[in-house]
Amino acid sequence: MDFAIITISAFIVGLGFLVKRNPNLIAGYNGLSEQEKRKVDIEGLSTWMRNGFVITGLATPLVYFLVGYFGYQQLADFSMMFTITIGTFVIAISSQRFRNK
């Protein structure tokens, strides 16, 4: 399970850097017209998403190993899914502020 946690976390961190480098990977942004894309602060949005994915990717194994260290292994197994879900919701909801420059 430890290898899976680290692999998934590395994937999430890598996804963050990939989104910063290529903003068209952002869901919804690539489907906008050029006029609508001009209304989006893409530099701020891609930076925000990169930071959010990196924090989520680093928090996932940290929470998993801390909860497991205190003896709650079943809760630790659930914490990975919980951390990724919460991180994704925070990123998605808070990214709406970059919509209208």
| CA–CA distance, 58 with 38 (Å, rounded to integer) | 32
pLDDT at 10: 96
Give residue limits of the domains in the chain: 2-29+41-98
Tens digits of residue pLDDT in 81-94: 999 999 999 999 99
**pLDDT tier at 31, thresholds 50, 70, 90:** confident
The DSSP 8-state label assigned to residue 26 in this structure reads: S
pLDDT of residue 72: 87
- 100, 42 Cβ separation under 8 angstroms: no
Reported confidence tier of residue 66, pLDDT bands at 50, 70, 90: very high
Question: Is this structure's pTM higher than 0.75?
Answer: yes
Is pLDDT of 100 > 80?
no
